[in-house]
A and B are shown apart, each in its own frame.
Chain A
Amino acid sequence: MGLVKGVGFNSWRRVGPVLPALKVYNAREVDELILVDIVASQLGNNPDYDAVADLANECSVPLTIGGGVSNLTQITALLRAGADKVTINSASVAEPGFVQRAAEVFGSQCIVASIDARRDAAGRYVVFTHAGTRNTGLNAVDWACELASRGAGEILLTSIDRDGTMQGYDLELIERVVRVVDIPVIASGGAGTYDDLVRVVRDAGASAVAAASMFHFTEQTPAGAKAAMHVAGIPVRRNLVAV
């Protein structure tokens, strides 16, 4: 299992093993970690529980695991392995009731509904599943509403177009969804600068910001990001404890 980077969910290239990256993030003031197996749905794979256990062992902040999660047994096993939350993407479209059942059994706080969206020529945001390979035809904003009403605790909202580009989040996508749901929306896809993080919270209303390429491929750090957000007046967790 290795970390990968793509651009617009394409041209994936290997970045390196997961564990060392996770350890660094854990030591560096991230608030939470999300790890998604992006080929699981396409291959029909079960999660690698042993790997999750190894990762959870190194994680002293909440850990969310996703990728091919499509039944309750997998969620039970993931939580037992050490995940704090799970994220569900493709399976929610295949079976809309699944998110609801999962929320009922494990609690909404455990279930993050993940939506990957592309903007079409008409300016609509369309939901894609299976790592961007299947066009569902669903309107992302309506779909977010649906998942929220089914008990999802949070929405992880990713702009496929912006992902890996470091050109900034798709503020309009984020804002449109934030407006229609009252659960937290985690903005994902496109973060390139500290200012991007500030903007998506302050201007588009995201409750949380997810970033990857920016931290892997530039000199910017989670601590730097939080300092910048703090200066911009956004409440963030600051570590006050001496190491």
Chain B
Amino acid sequence: MRVAIVNYGMGNLGSVARAFNDLGSQAFIADRPSSLFGAHRVVLPGVGAFAEGMTRLREGGWADALARLRQEGRPMLGICLGMQILAEAGEEVYPCNGLGFITGRVRRLDTLGCKLRLPHVGWNEISYAQPGPLFKQIPTGSDFYFVHSYALTEFEPSELLATVDYGAPVAAAVRRGHVFGTQFHPEKSSKAGRQLLCNFLEYKTY
């Protein structure tokens, strides 16, 4: 199974690719939007700020390619910033539009009523809203590794898979159709993360 890791200049491409390859898939770093179309799965990694991420996605021609792939029903997984830019809009560093594949706006954690120190860094337990296929064989309460200061707000409840508690409930994973997003880093989350990536590979689109 070919897994394309979008290289838009932001993200820990190597460790994401390695995590997928450990599961027996053929993950490759996609340097051009056209190379996405040959993949069974598309992964949008991301470490950094929303505004810069979106600028790079647009300038690199990725946004259009991802929109087309979404229409074709290609399963996609956004990780960390990659999940955030799936949203309709974000505010880091300045307000701008996201890809709009998932309902919601990305805001700083303290605007959500979170009074704890930022960024939210470290292992934390998730609670399920409706886990679905992405969390098969992963019990609720499993820990994943988080590192972020912004999070998805105004999400659509039917799109929420799981939350994490960091002073207030925070969206940890979302889904609309074949598009998934995790705020945490499954490639840095040991066995639970590995199981999640495995579930993403095995996810049936029919």
Q: Do A and B come from one complex?
A: yes
A60 touches B192 (CB 8 A): no
A243 touches B191 (CB 8 A): yes
Bound Cα distance from A26 to B191, whole angstroms: 10
B194 touches A60 (CB 8 A): yes
Chain A positions within 8 Å of B147 at CB level: 109
Q: Which of B95-122 contact A (CB under 8 A)?
A: 117, 119, 121-122
Residues 21-34 of chain B: 1 if any A CB is under 8 Å from the residue's CB, otherwise 0? 01000000000000
Distance (Å) between the CB of B15 and the closest chain A CB?
6
Distance (Å) between the CB of B77 and the closest chain A CB?
17
Contact A82-B14, Cβ < 8 Å, known A60-B189, A237-B143, A239-B192: yes
Distance (Å) between the CB of B117 and the closest chain A CB?
7
Q: Is B87 an interface residue (CB 8 A)?
A: no
Bound Cα distance from A240 to B141, whole angstroms: 8
Q: Is A6 an interface residue (CB 8 A)?
A: no
B145 touches A62 (CB 8 A): yes
Contact A61-B190, Cβ < 8 Å, known A56-B14, A82-B14: yes
Main secondary structure, interface of B, reads mixed
Residues 22-51 of chain A: 1 if any B CB is under 8 Å from the residue's CB, otherwise 0? 000010010100000000000000000000
Chain B interface size, under 10 / 10 to 19 / 20 to 34 / 35 or more:
20 to 34
Bound Cα distance from A238 to B191, whole angstroms: 11
A240 touches B192 (CB 8 A): yes
Distance (Å) between the CB of B165 and the closest chain A CB?
11
B145 touches A241 (CB 8 A): no
Chain B residue, CB-CB nearest to A235? B125
Bound Cα distance from A56 to B139, whole angstroms: 27
B193 touches A60 (CB 8 A): yes
Contact A107-B138, Cβ < 8 Å, known A61-B145, A84-B188: no
A239 touches B191 (CB 8 A): yes
Chain B positions within 8 Å of A182 at CB level: 117
Bound Cα distance from A60 to B142, whole angstroms: 16
A237 touches B119 (CB 8 A): no
Chain B residue, CB-CB nearest to A62? B188
Distance (Å) between the CB of B114 and the closest chain A CB?
16
Bound Cα distance from A243 to B122, whole angstroms: 22
Q: Is B3 an interface residue (CB 8 A)?
A: no
Q: Is A57 an interface residue (CB 8 A)?
A: yes
Q: Is B71 an interface residue (CB 8 A)?
A: no
Chain A residue, CB-CB nearest to B147? A109
A239 touches B190 (CB 8 A): yes
Q: Is B18 an interface residue (CB 8 A)?
A: yes
Q: Is B166 an interface residue (CB 8 A)?
A: no
Q: Which of B18-50 contact A (CB under 8 A)?
A: 18-19, 22
Bound Cα distance from A156 to B23, whole angstroms: 34
Q: Which of A46-97 contact B (CB under 8 A)?
A: 53, 56-57, 60-62, 82, 84
From B22, B117, B122, B195, A241 is in contact (CB under 8 Å) with: B195
Q: Is A242 an interface residue (CB 8 A)?
A: yes
Chain B positions within 8 Å of A183 at CB level: 117
Bound Cα distance from A238 to B18, whole angstroms: 24
Chain A residue, CB-CB nearest to B186? A60
Distance (Å) between the CB of B19 and the closest chain A CB?
7
A29 touches B190 (CB 8 A): yes
Distance (Å) between the CB of A140 and the closest chain B CB?
22
Contact A107-B190, Cβ < 8 Å, known A57-B18, A82-B15, A237-B143: no
Q: Which 10 A-B pairs have the closest CB atoms?
A: A237-B143, A240-B139, A237-B123, A241-B191, A109-B121, A241-B192, A241-B195, A240-B142, A109-B119, A60-B190
8 A-B pairs besides A60-B19, A61-B188, A182-B117 with CB distance below 8 A are: A56-B14, A56-B15, A62-B145, A84-B12, A107-B119, A108-B119, A237-B123, A241-B191
Task: List residues of chain B with CB under 8 Å of any chain A CB.
Answer: 12, 14-15, 18-19, 22, 117, 119, 121-123, 137-139, 141-143, 145, 147, 187-195
Q: Return 9 A-B CB contacts under 8 Å, by A number.
A: A31-B123, A60-B190, A82-B15, A84-B188, A107-B119, A109-B147, A239-B190, A241-B191, A241-B192
